Structure 1
Amino acid sequence: MKLIPPASLISRMLLPAVLLMAVPLPAQTGKDYLPYYSMELDNPILKKRLETQGGIVTADDADGKPCLKVEISGGRNTKRITIPITARGVEILATGKVRGTAINNVAQNYNGLKFQLYYQAAEGGKTHQDAANLRGTFPWADMGVIAYIPEDAQAAALTIGLEACEGTGFFRDIEIKTRKVNARKTATLLAPEKLTYNKTILRGMMSPNQYNEGDFEALKRYGANAIRWQLGQKPASINYQTWLAAELNDLERALAAAHRNGIGVIIDLHALPGGRLPDGTLNLVLEQAPQDEFIAVWETIVRRFKDAPALCAYDLLNEPVQTRPSPSSLENWLGIQIKAAKAIRAIDPRTPVIIETDQWNAAQPFKWLEPVDIPNVIYSVHMYWPGTYTHQGVRTDQGIAKDKNLKNSALHYPGVIDGRQVDKEALRRYLAPVREFQRANNARIYVGEFSAIRWAPGAAQYLDDCISIFEEYGWDWTYHAFREWPGWSVEHENEPYDIRNHTRATSPTDRLQVLLKYFSKNRPFSREPGK
């Protein structure tokens, strides 16, 4: 199989586009980024190619420096310039400057001016890393995007331009650099029976957004022995520390109720200091203050709850996303978790800490994840693949607006989704990087979230197939979610296909029955080994 399609195929995939050849990847030593591509706008050959394809190389109004102008007028449209990237097994850093004039009539929040790294994985589909909400009129701004391009990527590129909008975008100083990722290599993988953690211990659910004693009693009746308690849902108008104080009081009640009902509590810091940028990037990997606050928050949590009988683990950082580099003085998405884990170990030497991966805690980053030197660590993955199936109708006016009835065009599982057959074996292939990491490093794995929206046809089979893989591999798991939003609820009927109309079930749904089947294998949670 060719890793990179011919230019004609890429152009059909990303039309309208200008294809610009990138220089070959040079020999690499050390950890520094090396030059890969530079868009030299004073190059007459490049200038002619851009102008032929609809771009305009012009002088900026303010400082007279050359820049690339991409313009769409007369209605919403798309115009992209694509720079193919042939390097594999590398971290890509793309930088440049952008500005916009009257970028309006934007279709979605992820449309508008584009500065986007993209790759197509052999398993897992397309991945895009870019900034969102680049619209309106704004001055020159620095832009930086990073992404890991796996060895088996079938296509990769940097795209700039305008997408599903109208207006004018300007670009200059575009550069691409690479850094070799130390992809995990091992001569042998442990046989499954040799793994320390080869049997599932924890089977549970993600928590509601607030404490209720009856929820723990219901979980006990169902047979769950774990709950991932999310410290989340922080209103923007409330100070972080004020919000946190109330959340920790709720957590104290939750830990007591969990202990009464034989349930272990995984503390999940869901809302993070500093919040996120529109593309999901954590501010705490870009700014000192939220990074310091993140460490201090965990020290506060650990000092208060480290001796709670129902305490199961500390889930450090929910769904890391980093699409641009950290300043040299700060830790990146993994480094800040390691720093927090070391701070925790100075206070609590025994409670497990949970590490999550980049790209919303996806499976792909396990291909290059190195094990961390922290005692009693658990590695987490979230499973919402393929997202077009699990989240169908979630981010639309599903069931409300005319012609939005998903029931007439729903994606079914198993079935053809995103142009490929998706079934249990496809799920297994998607999770293969996690399984290989487990066997290479004798690691304990925890699936912190997985789900399918209640109206997705075949959702019960999807959940059963996922859990059967988790159980085969000895992974712990918590379903998303319990009495949080009814769209994910196994206690609500599969229909109607409507994000605002949820019907409470009068008998166990097929999705709940799947969970109950596996919950029946549980023993009550205990912090004491062997109990």
Structure 2
Amino acid sequence: MTLPEHPLPEPDATDPVTRRALLAGAGAAAIVGLTQTATGAWQGQAPRPIAGTPVLPPRMRGLNLELSPGSLSPSIARELASWGVNTVRINFGTDMAAGTATKGVALRPTRAEPLAPYRNNLAMLKRFTAECSRLGVGVMLAASGVFGRDLVKLDDSTGGSFRTHIRPSLMQFWTAMAEELRDDPAIFAYDVFNEPNYTLRRERDGAIWYEQIMPEAIRRIRAINPHIWIAVMPWPWGFPGRYGSMPLLDDPAILYSFHDYAPHNFTHQGVGTIARGAVYPGILREYDSEMPRFWDKGALARSMQPAVDFARQHGVRMMATEFGVVRWAKGRDTWIADMVAILEDNGIDWLFHTYNTWNGWNPSFAPDAEQVGTYPTLFGGVNSPGHRTLLRHWRLNQRF
């Protein structure tokens, strides 16, 4: 069986700190208390974009794409456009992470070749964005599996591992990528870092992200491209409930974002060690460490409220850059319909996760379909209610 994109290790694992390493008890800790005095942050309303910044459509609705051999083909771009998708977010990383490395050889970035670990994926990306530009599909590029992320130690409460392996690599990545892609007409936004995290043990751990890494990455990008939109998300993992600690940034083109898989034990059932059988709506634990409670549309809306409040308070564009549920979850179609309705009712842009690579998240496959890591098209052959909900809303889109 091909490993899913988000398998979950035991809490003491030291795997790459992406959703692959999400702790089963992650929701137990609250990240609070950071004020809007972090470097690059300010109090007040967000400034307006400067002339030359890409004009966003009234609503961005689309999906995420992961990297694997052939996953960013021009034919995939055409399939997206035929559905009405106007925005796609690409979780970008090294050729090794994507399985596209030549002869399976891992390359290191150097001063002369800072994009050496990404060359095959970069070539695939450029072919894809050329077709997206022709079709009017906007592309958001997210730094995800960057060089060194697999060396970050989970639950390193000092933050030393995160600073050592992510900070220099991420700065090198964005400096080189912003220069390489500054004239690409399809790419309208850079997502600074996908699901920033290394621990949930202490409330103050997020300061490394808010005060050091995030503002520095933005400065690096802005030095090269003053017009690109920049997406940011709260520490940790981009949970919407963490917007109580998110600073408002004094930058003219910021997209604030979050990822929403609540309740986690429902949306991720059958992934890693999480048991199957949870039904939505119903009495559910968000994580194993939390008490069971009733989850329905109202509960989903309440869990998202901090992000909604932040957007309304500051007059900023808010975007759910990931939300999704495994296709075998009972009540999946209702969950998708409820999530989309909440996002639409609150004026939040959204990107579903996901239709490509591991097909466990793809609602156009039957619940009992074979699990595969790649598929020649996004459509799995089943016009399920969840798939129809997404299609109906994608077809409301205006193009970039």
Residue of structure 2 equivalent to 1:12: none
Contact 1:200 1:474 in 2 (8 A): no
**Alpha-carbon deviation of 1:316?**
0.7
Residue of structure 1 equivalent to 2:142: 268
2:231 to 354, 360, 363: 354
1:412 to 271, 279, 291: 279
1:231 to 92, 104, 115: 92
| Amino acid across the alignment from 1:515 | L
Structure 2 portions without partners, runs of 5+: 1-8, 14-23, 38-43, 47-54, 98-104, 110-115, 286-291
**Alpha-carbon deviation of 1:278?**
4.6
Residue of structure 1 equivalent to 2:217: 340
- The secondary structure found in structure 1 opposite 2:189 is strand
RMSD: 3.5
1:505–1:266 distance in 2 versus 1, CA, 3 Å: closer
Residue of structure 2 equivalent to 1:110: 11
1:264–1:417 distance in 2 versus 1, CA, 3 Å: same
Number of aligned pairs? 338
Q: Tell me how far apart the structure 2 counterparts of residues 481 and 417 of structure 1 sit (CA, whole Å).
A: 23
**Alpha-carbon deviation of 1:295?**
1.2
Matched-pair identity in %: 26
Q: Tell me how far apart the structure 1 counterparts of residues 382 and 221 of structure 2 sit (CA, whole Å).
A: 44
Q: Tell me how far apart the structure 2 counterparts of residues 280 and 248 of structure 1 sit (CA, whole Å).
A: 32
Q: Tell me how far apart the structure 2 counterparts of residues 189 and 259 of structure 1 sit (CA, whole Å).
A: 32
Contact 2:366 2:382 in 1 (8 A): no
**Alpha-carbon deviation of 1:437?**
0.8
- The secondary structure found in structure 1 opposite 2:236 is helix
1:296 aligns with 2:163: no
Contact 2:34 2:246 in 1 (8 A): no
**Alpha-carbon deviation of 1:254?**
1.6
- Bigger Rg over Cα: 1
Residue of structure 2 equivalent to 1:481: 354
Q: Tell me how far apart the structure 1 counterparts of residues 74 and 374 of structure 2 sit (CA, whole Å).
A: 23
2:35 to 182, 186, 189: 182
Contact 1:322 1:358 in 2 (8 A): no
Choose between structure 1 and 2: higher strand proportion.
1
Residue of structure 2 equivalent to 1:139: none
Higher RCO, 1 vs 2 (CA within 8 Å, ≥6 residues apart): 2
- The secondary structure found in structure 1 opposite 2:127 is helix
Residue of structure 1 equivalent to 2:398: 523
Contact 1:275 1:283 in 2 (8 A): no
Contact 1:228 1:448 in 2 (8 A): yes
Map 1:25-174 → 2, pairs under 5 A:
109-110=10-11, 127=26, 148-150=30-32
**Alpha-carbon deviation of 1:513?**
0.5
1:315–1:240 distance in 2 versus 1, CA, 3 Å: farther
1:255 to 120, 129, 141: 129
| Amino acid across the alignment from 2:251 | I
Contact 1:354 1:379 in 2 (8 A): yes
Q: Tell me how far apart the structure 2 counterparts of residues 290 and 220 of structure 1 sit (CA, whole Å).
A: 34
1:415–1:215 distance in 2 versus 1, CA, 3 Å: same
1:221–1:291 distance in 2 versus 1, CA, 3 Å: same
Residue of structure 2 equivalent to 1:243: 117
**CA deviation map 1:425-480 (0-9, x unaligned):** 10110001101111121121111110000001111111111111111111111111
1:291–1:506 distance in 2 versus 1, CA, 3 Å: closer
Structure 1 portions without partners, runs of 5+: 1-107, 113-124, 130-146, 151-179, 191-196, 399-403, 526-531
**Alpha-carbon deviation of 1:286?**
2.4
**CA deviation map 1:15-72 (0-9, x unaligned):** xxxxxxxxxxxxxxxxxxxxxxxxxxxxxxxxxxxxxxxxxxxxxxxxxxxxxxxxxx
**CA deviation map 1:299-356 (0-9, x unaligned):** 111112122221120001000014289xx9xx81123111111121121111110112
| Amino acid across the alignment from 2:82 | R
Q: Tell me how far apart the structure 1 counterparts of residues 332 and 182 of structure 2 sit (CA, whole Å).
A: 37
Residue of structure 1 equivalent to 2:16: none
1:428 to 301, 304, 312: 301
Contact 2:93 2:118 in 1 (8 A): no
**Alpha-carbon deviation of 1:225?**
0.6
**CA deviation map 1:262-314 (0-9, x unaligned):** 21000011112321435276877321x64223112111111121222211200
Q: Tell me how far apart the structure 1 counterparts of residues 386 and 232 of structure 2 sit (CA, whole Å).
A: 28
| Amino acid across the alignment from 1:517 | R
Q: Tell me how far apart the structure 2 counterparts of residues 484 and 448 of structure 1 sit (CA, whole Å).
A: 17
Contact 1:234 1:243 in 2 (8 A): yes
1:203 to 61, 66, 75: 61
1:510 aligns with 2:371: no
1:280–1:212 distance in 2 versus 1, CA, 3 Å: farther
1:251–1:499 distance in 2 versus 1, CA, 3 Å: closer
Q: Tell me how far apart the structure 1 counterparts of residues 374 and 139 of structure 2 sit (CA, whole Å).
A: 28
**CA deviation map 1:404-441 (0-9, x unaligned):** 8x4xxx11111111221101110110001101111121
Residue of structure 2 equivalent to 1:176: none
| Amino acid across the alignment from 1:346 | A
Residue of structure 1 equivalent to 2:268: 391
- The secondary structure found in structure 1 opposite 2:190 is strand
Q: Tell me how far apart the structure 2 counterparts of residues 495 and 235 of structure 1 sit (CA, whole Å).
A: 30
Contact 2:281 2:294 in 1 (8 A): yes
1:322–1:483 distance in 2 versus 1, CA, 3 Å: closer
* TM-score, normalisation: structure 2: 0.75
1:253–1:505 distance in 2 versus 1, CA, 3 Å: closer
Q: Tell me how far apart the structure 2 counterparts of residues 363 and 262 of structure 1 sit (CA, whole Å).
A: 29
Q: Tell me how far apart the structure 2 counterparts of residues 517 and 391 of structure 1 sit (CA, whole Å).
A: 25
1:515–1:388 distance in 2 versus 1, CA, 3 Å: same
**Alpha-carbon deviation of 1:181?**
3.5
Contact 1:207 1:227 in 2 (8 A): yes
